[in-house]
A and B are shown apart, each in its own frame.
Chain A
């Protein structure tokens, strides 16, 4: 048997012509903890999905050698049979079932075909829970009575119950606090001693340097390098260099003669608590301001609270016990609903355009006019269909939406064109401030460029713009000034001259360290 439990060679995976993985190689030694690093969208999760059979054999090219054999997983069940278990970022637990039931979900302990053996279930669940350091839980409690940290441990217990040889953890600590994260990392080290190999995907580089034996860095769907403990430098700076070392040539249009004017919107001492957990503070004393003609970035890792911040401003669509002040043009305003926000000339485009932005089976013009309908396309509550058509035609041309006509269903458009429809929808409300949440997520380079051009035009016409993005190059390429948000707090503010991916990452790490002390 070879030294490697897993070798993935020359993996190529395409999504409708776009290469998400381009010749990726990953070698994992038996019994080690192997970390996978890369920016959002670099291809880490795609790679793990190839491995676990979410994308079945035949939909990608390249070889997977596991335990000395070439494997061709057709589905998750196949890979689980071989002892490969993946724990996704979103927990796969059934909230109202008990702890014991969840541990054996899909892997029920049977006494006869189809009949559950409850004694065995409970005994073995207890055993699994102890392996992950949970000693005093009532096995009959529903899973949603536990905190997220413990739920994450239950997920691991669930994996252990399946005779696991290779455990894959996708961002296991993203939703956890420091204490819970530390506990989880200790469990990983303990499992390593028992001979279980793990792959961990994480943005928290300090955790990775602590726990990993080897680090493979992926960027833009390609393997950049593999660092080994004891041989290579394992510092955060070194990892970041591998993750972001990308050249930027003209991916972002230049913004010329754009005058930055007075402050349009200012948010002061913004505090927000989690909508379901009133004790959990999601945002702490956030202060930001945007000026006319200015594009302000909101950078941060997943779970930093950027979207939550935007949605809580936008008519309190997120959170509870919200406190703080919003000033528009220097005057405090009360915004209690989305309608208030629109009336105060704030616009917000969601990161999730399909679920929060569009009615997919309706046409372009219908979607475009929706937010501005009451204000600009109706009189006494009656829709002016002619104005609606004219506006839709105008904006289709202005931001170059590629479609047969304005009567085409938005669900049949490409992601880039859908995003343009949403942009037009909010431009039609004539806002002063536009908050664009991941405006280019999942769209191709050409369409991205056009969105950036539209952002520039908006800034030029005196709008204040906030861009939320997980892609740091995008923040650097488009923003005049950037706030770095980390764990619900502003970790720093960086002017354009001082903006680089290293600076942003450092800002986050330093904030984490400050908090850790």
Chain B
């Protein structure tokens, strides 16, 4: 009876991380290490932050078995609203942000209402939203770029957290970044220990120690590599903090809350979800409203990084976000996928883009490669799960 139960780590969960590392290493070789320079690592984070933020919201839509085609437009519209308010109406940054976020939420709720309560297919509703959002952006900006945005605003997208740089090697290193890296490492180890203790306390199956150790070493390795690189550059980008907080919150919501569970249940089997007491309309409504909220954040971040609001901003972001979810293992039919998967999916695409740019591949051909990677990742995922059954 008191036999010790053990179970192995689910390797499939980590397949995409391996793929991401593999792609990184390939480009590391192809670019002769340029993709590992501190500046490039910093660029990787900054360039992909909006897609990561959008992918977290998009994942919820994908979990319901649908997508939101309008996010690129909402990003542009929200950026335009923020730029207009600050540059032309001289509103303070905080009030301008609040208005922008409200605009995003209203747009999302508008979609959510049609989808949840009028049963219009999300594809149609958000295709409409895509056109409406883009049209409103052009109208609002009169097809012109609004800028430049004040420095305090730009800092959100392109600035850095406080730093304390000291000379190191042939450059400098930021001690604050190193300190944060230490704190993060300790937290990760503590969380793992706590997890092991709970498993023992409740006599749940435990994961063999060596597997846990490998996982820990790998996680810490990636974190230290990243933090070391950005410490060698300018320290922690503000945008990394925003991104981490958002990813953390949504990871928590999807994995630990009733609300998150309801989204999975709805996507997995809507009829069964209804008969389990889940208000599926409410779930649809909030998923799409939330997408509007996150698009507003991404819009603010993007315009901050560009130091201006342009009508063409965010063009094609919806497809990047959707691709990130699918590459990260989400199922197009709904009910399967994780926030972490979507984040990794976003970085797989980011590393690809970045690497191809450094290698000097034309942007035209980059699209072909991205398309093939998306197709390949999803095909592999579906074939491997078919084999299992």
Contacts and interface: CB of A to CB of B under 8 A. Distances in A.
Interface in A355-375: 355-362, 366, 370-371, 373-374
A356 B7 CA distance: 31
B257 A382 contact: yes
A355 B271 contact: yes
A383 B258 contact: yes
B272 A357 contact: yes
Nearest to B333: A361
Interface string B293-319: 000000000000000000000000000
A309 interface: no
Contact of B265 (A314, A315, A339, A370): A370
B335 A338 contact: no
Nearest to A342: B277
B257 A371 contact: no
Contacts of B272: 355-359, 370
Interface in B233-275: 256-259, 261, 264-265, 268-269, 271-275
A356 B275 contact: yes
Contacts of B257: 378, 381-383
Of B276, B279, B336, the most chain A CB neighbours within 10 A belong to: B276
A197 interface: no
Contacts of A338: 274-278
A341 interface: yes
Contact of B268 (A317, A350, A362): A362
Contacts of A315: 277
A139 to B, nearest CB: 31
B202 interface: yes
B202 A389 contact: yes
A69 to B, nearest CB: 40
B258 A378 contact: yes
Interface in B328-367: 335-336
A390 interface: yes
Given A383-B257, A383-B261, A389-B204, A374 B277 contact: yes
Given A370-B265, A382-B257, A383-B258, A356 B204 contact: no
A362 B273 CA distance: 13
Given A314-B275, A341-B277, A390-B202, A361 B268 contact: yes
B275 A317 contact: yes
B256 A383 contact: yes
A405 interface: yes
Nearest to A360: B269
Contacts of A405: 7, 205
A389 B258 CA distance: 15
Contacts of B278: 338
Nearest to A377: B258
B1 to A, nearest CB: 12
A411 B258 CA distance: 23
Contacts of B271: 355-356
B198 interface: yes
B259 A370 contact: no
A359 B269 contact: yes
A371 B276 contact: yes
A62 B382 CA distance: 40
Interface in A364-421: 366, 370-371, 373-374, 378, 381-383, 385-386, 389-390, 405, 407, 411-412
Contacts of B277: 315, 337-339, 341-342, 371, 374
Contact of B264 (A342, A362, A382): A362
A348 B269 CA distance: 17
B165 to A, nearest CB: 40
Contacts of B269: 355, 358-360
Contacts of A374: 258, 277
B258 A337 contact: no
Contact of A381 (B198, B205, B258): B258
A328 B256 CA distance: 34
B256 A370 contact: no
Given A359-B268, A359-B335, A383-B256, A350 B275 contact: yes
Nearest to A379: B258
A242 to B, nearest CB: 38
> Most A CB atoms within 10 A — which of B204, B261, B279?
B261
Contacts of A355: 269, 271-272
B9 to A, nearest CB: 13
Contacts of A412: 389
A41 to B, nearest CB: 24
A187 B204 CA distance: 66
B208 to A, nearest CB: 16
Given A362-B264, A370-B265, A385 B7 contact: no
A133 B57 CA distance: 58
A370 B202 contact: no
A361 B336 contact: yes
B275 A357 contact: yes
B112 to A, nearest CB: 19
Nearest to A388: B261
B258 A361 contact: no
Contact of A382 (B7, B198, B256): B256
A339 B268 contact: no
A381 B269 CA distance: 21
A385 B268 CA distance: 20
Interface in B204-226: 204-205
Contacts of B336: 361
A43 B162 CA distance: 77
Contacts of A361: 268, 335-336
B279 A337 contact: yes
Most chain A C-beta atoms within 10 Å of own C-beta, residue among B198, B204, B271, B277: B277
A338 B297 CA distance: 36
A323 B256 CA distance: 40
A425 B276 CA distance: 9
Contacts of B335: 359, 361-362
A342 to B, nearest CB: 5
Contacts of A382: 256-258
B274 to A, nearest CB: 6
B221 to A, nearest CB: 28
Contacts of A339: 277, 279
Contacts of A317: 274-275
A381 B255 CA distance: 12
Interface in B155-210: 198, 202, 204-205
A411 B269 CA distance: 12
Contacts of A359: 264-265, 268-269, 272-273, 335
Contacts of A342: 277
Contacts of B274: 317, 338
B101 to A, nearest CB: 22
B38 to A, nearest CB: 39
Contacts of B198: 386
A437 to B, nearest CB: 11
Nearest to A315: B277
A357 B271 CA distance: 8
A243 to B, nearest CB: 33
B277 to A, nearest CB: 4
Given A359-B264, A386-B198, 11 more contacts: A317-B275, A337-B277, A356-B271, A362-B268, A362-B335, A366-B261, A370-B273, A381-B258, A383-B258, A386-B202, A412-B389
Interface of A: 314-315, 317, 337-339, 341-342, 348, 350, 355-362, 366, 370-371, 373-374, 378, 381-383, 385-386, 389-390, 405, 407, 411-412, 425
25 contacts: A315-B277, A317-B275, A337-B277, A338-B274, A338-B275, A338-B276, A342-B277, A348-B275, A350-B275, A358-B269, A361-B268, A361-B335, A361-B336, A362-B335, A366-B261, A371-B277, A378-B257, A378-B258, A382-B257, A382-B258, A383-B256, A385-B256, A389-B202, A407-B7, A411-B389
4 tightest CB-CB pairs across the interface, nearest first? A359-B268, A371-B276, A338-B277, A339-B277
